[in-house]
Amino acid sequence: MNYRAPIADFQFLFREVFPIDRLFALAPFSDFDRALTDAVLEEGGRFASEVLAPINQPGDREGAHLSDAGVVVPASFKDAYRRFVADGWNGVSADRAYGGQGLPEVIGAALNEMWQSANLSFALCPLLTQGAIDTLALCANPDQKERYLAKLVTGEWTGTMNLTEPQAGSDLGLIETLAIPKGDHYLVRGQKIFITYGEHDLTENIIHLALARTPDAPAGTRGLTLFIIPRYREAQASGRTKNDVQALSIEHKMGIHASPTCVMGYGQQTGAYAEQLGGLHQGMEHMFIMMNRARLSVGQQGVGIAEQAFQAARDFARNRVQGRDSKTGQDRVAIIKHPDVRRMLLTMAALTEATRALTLWAFYLSDLGRHAESGSERQAADACVALLTPIVKGFATEMAQEVTSLAIQIHGGMGYVEETGVAQLYRDARILTIYEGTTGIQAMDLLGRKLVRDRGQAWSALEAEILRSLDAHEFKVVQHLAEPLRNHVAQLRSVVDEVLRNASHDPYQLGGASYAALMQFGTVLGGWLLARAAAAAARVQSETGAQPFLERKIRIAEFYMGFLLPRADAYAKAARVPSATVMALDDSLI
């Protein structure tokens, strides 16, 4: 299956929608400019299309497997990973002090979307490593940073996130893995499940970040501490020694067959050597650094796999000859001429571009949250990223379910067989709404933590920004896009106000409304960002003349407003349904 990175889309967003020059004006990024980042994107797109995409389907067929020597990934992945590391892709946005290139995080995010598009199973490995890098950079002591960060940044080592256990699921307060103090370290005993790339043969060492509890820890999540557990322990006196860590099995999954999902055993013999990372009993706080990064990145996985599905469906529709043109009467036309096929293709394109803008905007704000010159600007950016994180993760991954399903529909019977590759995309995408917190968990996080906890302040700030932008001069040319958005922003405000009123006296209402509210947020914000792109495209056209790429931006936004934004009306109504509608029926009758 072919893949062509949407470089022009990235460049347009970075030039016209949320200008990256604003980041280049900040001290950490003053060495960079558009020309350099354009070159990085183009080379990254080439790597994705020429190296990663060709091994996606063969990797799916071969899969990962467990042998006597450990977990083995597809042979083609090993060469690709060596090239990935040699070309410096693993540390594009990492700190230069540890061998990274120090580019803005949003550039790394654009590259990450390409990796996910081209080969989701492969790209999961560096995605988890990046999360480990972020967590160590913020929580590790100087000695730990010195020993671990550089090799993770270069990709010589990889990292994992070890959260749940067989009895725990999403309730991490039930974690039983025990860390017993021994001198300057701990010995860990326990079992972790669903550990992506928990073991593999791409690199020798793997750095596991794992939650466990000490013997005197309080019950529940308050008693969890985060630990560094290396596959191999390196010490100057003794050299490298194998830690008491091993993959007990790997899961046989619906999709992402080439990505090993491991059941990990810690301390099966003497106890696994572990170092405390950050404060005692502050594990959940520290793990959320990695988890929130992962949630944004999983949202990008949704965008990436949707882009690949769209490209496959569009190319098929342009070449599949079938049926008659209902207007001209021409016989034997490509199916892209049929209105319902076009509806599906435009739905795929509009949802993909809306969520691309949403995810990249979140990473752009993350750069501002870390590096903006004023404290107030950093604080405002961080608050907006916190609000957007569950929306990005939930909405973009739900979107991927729809888009990959439509790809199969457009292919017809050919999509239902493995030969075309779109069935794999559908299978691979199905995990995205589950790991790193299900859509329901994201929705409850949005309402319970991000809206109720601050009484909607972050949303109020974002709402004001949206309304200001719709009143800006640039939108005068596309007022037909601005007006429906104003109405839907007002509708969203009404739902938020109702959530805030009901939260304290009807918790079931919060739970029952959460999914619909999250989808309403995603639908409205996606429409707003597409409208911003259309307004920018209209402005550039007025300056430079008509261009097909810019015309497409306007038409995609118009399609979204007509066909997809009205979904927000239904979500708003669903968010207001009384909790009894959901909860009144006895469990035995469901």
Query: What 8-state DSSP symbol labels residue 217?
Result: P
Give the max Cα distance, the chain. 83
Neighbours of 490 (CB within 10 A): 11
Burial 227-246 (b: 16+ CB within 10 A, else e): bbbbbbbeeeeeeeeebbbb
**Phi and psi dihedrals of 578, rounded to 5?**
-55, 145
Neighbours of 45 (CB within 10 A): 21
Angle between helices 479-502 and 457-470 (to 10 degrees): 170
Indicate the pairing of strand 272-277 with strand 158-162.
Answer: unpaired
Q: Closest by alpha carbon to 576, among 515, 519, 507, 513?
A: 513
**What Rg, from alpha-carbon coordinates, does the chain have?**
24
Per DSSP, the three-state class of 320 is coil
Amino acid at 19: P
Q: Closest by alpha carbon to 485, among 546, 534, 542, 545?
A: 534
- Contact, 299 vs 355, CB < 8 A? yes
Amino acid at 559: F
Q: Closest by alpha carbon to 433, among 424, 444, 442?
A: 442
Query: What 8-state DSSP symbol labels residue 342?
Result: H
Q: Looking at the annotation, which residues are catalytic?
A: 436
How far apart are the C-alpha atoms of 317 and 338, rounded to whole Å? 9
Amino acid at 58: P
Per DSSP, the three-state class of 334 is strand
Q: Is the C-alpha dihedral spanning 48, 49, 54, 60 positive or negative?
A: positive
How far apart are the C-alpha atoms of 497 and 485, rounded to whole Å? 18
For the record, the structure tokens of 293 come out as: 């990064």
